[in-house]
Amino acid sequence: MAAVAISIPVPITLAKVTCFFIFISVATLGIGTIHRPHGYLSMAYILIVDSQAEFRQQLVLQLEKAGHRAAAVATASAATKLIEDEVPDLLVTDGVLSDGSSTSLVQQAEAADAKILMLTGNPDRIVELDGAGQPYVSKPVAPEAFVQRVRQVLGDIEG
């Protein structure tokens, strides 16, 4: 589905200068999905999907401290619903979730132009992800290393 946007000129007076601009996305009106270019306002919207509640919360806190907006859920089905409402700039997901594999979730996010960062604690999965060129983070991960990896995947810093 293509994103539809409406631009409505609205006069805004700042220090005796009148500016005309406002951008309204149809999605903000509840009619569609919100799509933003990557790096929008240098703050990314990141969706985390992992079955471990404490781990999810730690990642959200680290991302918010780094200036990003983050949401976290435990299941692929919950993430699918969120992606239908707003496409994240980055989907961070464990490969194995309580309601199954994250494969269809990753496909949905990629089709909507979201970047993907996989989480794994399985050494066999690391070899598989590395061989496929898929960005990943090995669990457990230090908070600083996680934020740096997120920045690399988003393209904010060189990998």
What's 88-132 look like in SS3?
Answer: CCEEEEECEECCEECHHHHHHHHHCCCEEEEEECCHHHHHHHHHH
Residues of CATH 3.40.50.2300 domain(s) within the chain? Answer: 40-154
With beta carbons less than 8 A apart as the criterion, state whether 23 and 41 touch: no
Beta bridge partners of 88: none
Highest mean pLDDT among 17-21, 54-58, 123-127, 152-156: 54-58
Percent of the chain with pLDDT over 90: 57
Residue 134's pLDDT is 85
Q: 124: how many CB neighbours lie within 10 A of its CB? A: 8
With beta carbons less than 8 A apart as the criterion, state whether 75 and 102 touch: no
Residues with Cβ within 8 Å of 122's Cβ and at least 6 positions away in sequence, in order, are 95, 96
Structure tokens at 135: 């960005």
Residue 153's pLDDT is 96
Q: Is the pLDDT of residue 55 over 80?
A: yes
Q: What is the topology classification, in CATH, of domain 40-154?
A: Rossmann fold (3.40.50)
Q: How many residues does the chain have?
A: 159
Q: Is the pLDDT of residue 31 over 50?
A: no
**Which pLDDT tens digit goes with each residue over 87-108?**
999 999 998 898 987 899 999 9
Residue 86, classed as helix, strand or coil, is strand
Residue 42's pLDDT is 60
Q: Is the pLDDT of residue 76 over 80?
A: yes
Residue 130's pLDDT is 67
Q: Is the pLDDT of residue 139 over 60?
A: yes
How high is the mean pLDDT of the chain? 78
Place of tokens 């500016």: 19
- 46: nearest Cα among 73, 19, 24: 73
Residue 67, classed as helix, strand or coil, is coil
